[in-house]
Structure 1
Amino acid sequence: MSTRIPVVEQLPHLPTNDVLDALRTAFTELAAGTAVQSPQTVMLLPDGGDVIAYQAVIGDAYGVKVSPYLPQTNCSAVVTAWTLVLSTRTGRPLLLCDAHALTVERTAATSALAVDRLARPDAATLAVIGSGAQARAHLRYVRAVRNFTSVCMYGPELTEADAPDDVAVARSAGEAVTDADVVLLCTSAAEPVIDASALAPGTVVTSISTNAPRAHEIAPEALADLEVYGDYRPTVTAAAGEMALAAEQGLWSPERLRGDLPELLTDSCPLPSGERPVFFRSIGLGIEDLAVARLLERP
């Protein structure tokens, strides 16, 4: 008997609040033990490149996103991503979708959930480092959870004509983060782009992953001066570049991670003290991909 899998090759518009609600529910279920998140796995390819697999279970659905990174000769590497959802009751496939745009959405929404829990109640000034799709998605999602009276963005090629509405353009990353209450790092950099330890106490910095090996948007040695959180405690400290490097160099210990999103959303870890800058690191999780992919099953 043949099975025809619904294939979504172009992500439809998903309401911002629906994505936030789906991820909030998924992380809360993860805290309760009714969802499962396994570490990502990396398979190295014999001719170079790799394929990363992100797996998770929520309720009666299993999801896996596979993301190949395929270096090319004389041109940019090919990077794709596909998410498959299976029923854990029947074992039958429910959905296959191109996860490129889905990854942008779930990454930005995850950062926004963290900002909502970690930023001071009166946080009003936002800085976004980066100007691509990920940066613009981050801006959209954090604006859905907090009201910012001032927003500044920096990108090497960003002009005022290209900037989002009501967003000022900075001349440098350092200028953008000056006096910021929240800083969103949304770059593909493999090296630090700001000095996080120089920020004011209570300032929240979020950082995401890229394909570069051990990529880090802040310096590993800065972690000792920050209050550090991650997306999921069992996986982030080994996979995040700055955390792994800092631990290897004896500059920081994974035991110093103050909390993760499941804990933050269920009040199971301490909130920032306000005495140091705050750093939130996400590496990307299968539970995020699955939670958003399940929204595509709705009629």
Structure 2
Amino acid sequence: MSTIRHLSRKDAIEAGALDWAAAVEDIQATIRLLRSGEAGMVAESVMPLGADPRNKAYGLPAFVGGAYDAAGLKWTVHRAEPIGDLPSISSTTVINRLSDGAPVGSVESALLTRMRTAAVSAAAIKALKTDRIGSVALVGAGAHAQTHLDMLLSLFPGLETIHLWNRTRSHLDPLLATAGQGTATRILPHADWHEALADADVVICCTSAPQPFLDKSAVRPGRLIMQIGFHEVMFETIAATDLVTVDLWGDFAEKSAKSLFQMYRAGGFSPEQVAADLPALLVDGWKPPAEASLYFSSFGLNVFDIAFAARVLARANELNIGTLLPSI
């Protein structure tokens, strides 16, 4: 009987889902495959689940060749707020072999999504901020903020300070409780986001804010503002930066509620104004001037989800981790 393998979150972690070095290598390898035409994706299929635009279900297909040999679909249901004891995001990625179409397995993928998002941030920081960074401001206190905090502590051990801010101050407590042990990096909470950003070389926005609040006072020479979240950044802030960079520009610009794409649809930004995307950063080695103010919009590319799931499933198969299910 033919079987497929299913990995719970616990299984995925056991199979290496939290390996930051492997995660960053996945980003770099997948971008190279994307540039050569050996990886690709199509626009997500979105189904609204109510008036709040954050309530939606969506499917994201992609393929990744090379050693990944994978074609897959990430299926996600997203709620603006958790309901009961359920998480706000429920997600599963299904993988088939690209070479022959054979089913491989499935992975609970909310964790993988957060890992690939933070790994993209890490790769972008290293590419855009070639000089030493001493301070990062992390805005938000949800799951993406937690994963970005883990990433910063793991991949940037030379950081002197990580400043934290969230609209609800008490939501920072879990981050403070789990971080700061065994690290020389100071982790400082703030009551005001202006204070949190005061000396930051990099600002990482990880909120689900439906209305933008980060105004153009956040723009400074040499500072990188990264938007991971929903709609935190005002159009005036994007317009005030010297250089706008993105993970990629695609058909999703016509639908996404991310700040940059809303600005584009409102007529305030043109795709020709994008200075560089991830292929330019990671394959071509594009570098900005040292004193330029920078903005990076991370849409979140489903091609990375497929690469991550394929890598973790392959490792799980080697170690016999997970649950085998009949496929026919």
By the TM > 0.5 criterion, same fold?
A: yes
Which one of the candidate residues 175, 190, 202 is aligned to 2:222? 202
Q: How far apart in 2 are the matches of 1:236 and 1:261? A: 16
1:115 aligned counterpart, secondary structure: helix
Offset, 1:221: 2.8
Question: What does residue 276 of structure 2 align with?
Answer: 259
Q: How far apart in 2 are the matches of 1:219 and 1:194? A: 6
Question: What does residue 142 of structure 1 align with?
Answer: 152
How many residues were matched structurally? 292
Asked if 1:107 corresponds to 2:117, the answer is yes
The 5 Å alignment of 1:108-257 reads 108-146=118-156, 147-155=158-166, 156-157=169-170, 158-159=172-173, 162=177, 164-165=179-180, 166-196=186-216, 198-209=218-229, 215-226=230-241, 227-235=243-251, 237-238=253-254, 239=256, 241-257=258-274
Distance 1:29 1:177, change over 3 A: same
Question: What does residue 6 of structure 1 align with?
Answer: 5
- In the alignment, residue 162 of structure 2 is paired with which amino acid? V
**Contact 2:216-2:236 at 8 Å conserved across structures:** no
- In the alignment, residue 78 of structure 2 is paired with which amino acid? Y
The 5 Å alignment of 1:9-28 reads 9-10=8-9, 11-12=12-13, 13=16, 14-28=18-32
- In the alignment, residue 248 of structure 1 is paired with which amino acid? R
**Contact 1:126-1:183 at 8 Å conserved across structures:** yes
Q: Give aligned-pair identity as a percent.
A: 27
Offset, 1:124: 1.4
Q: How far apart in 1 are the matches of 2:246 and 2:273? A: 11
Question: What does residue 287 of structure 2 align with?
Answer: 271
Offset, 1:40: 1.9
Offset, 1:229: 1.0
**Contact 1:65-1:82 at 8 Å conserved across structures:** yes
Asked if 1:62 corresponds to 2:71, the answer is yes
Distance 1:274 1:197, change over 3 A: farther
Distance 1:94 1:117, change over 3 A: same
| Structure 1 range deviating more: 134-143 or 169-178 | 134-143
Spell out, residue by residue over 1:237-257, the C-alpha distance to the aligned partner (whole angstroms, 9 max, x if none).
433532233223332212101
Q: What stretches of structure 2 of length at least 5 have no aligned partner?
A: 181-185, 319-328
Question: What does residue 325 of structure 2 align with?
Answer: none
Offset, 1:45: 5.7
Q: How far apart in 2 are the matches of 1:123 and 1:70? A: 35
Distance 1:190 1:274, change over 3 A: farther
Offset, 1:65: 0.2
TM normalised by structure 2 equals 0.80
Distance 1:237 1:115, change over 3 A: farther
Distance 1:176 1:51, change over 3 A: same
Which one of the candidate residues 27, 41, 52 is aligned to 2:45? 41
Comparing both chains, which one has the higher relative contact order based on Cα–Cα distances under 8 Å and sequence gaps of 6 or more?
2
Q: What stretches of structure 1 of length at least 5 have no aligned partner?
A: 210-214
Q: How far apart in 2 are the matches of 1:255 and 1:273? A: 19
Distance 1:246 1:46, change over 3 A: closer
Offset, 1:78: 5.5
Question: What does residue 212 of structure 1 align with?
Answer: none
Offset, 1:144: 4.1
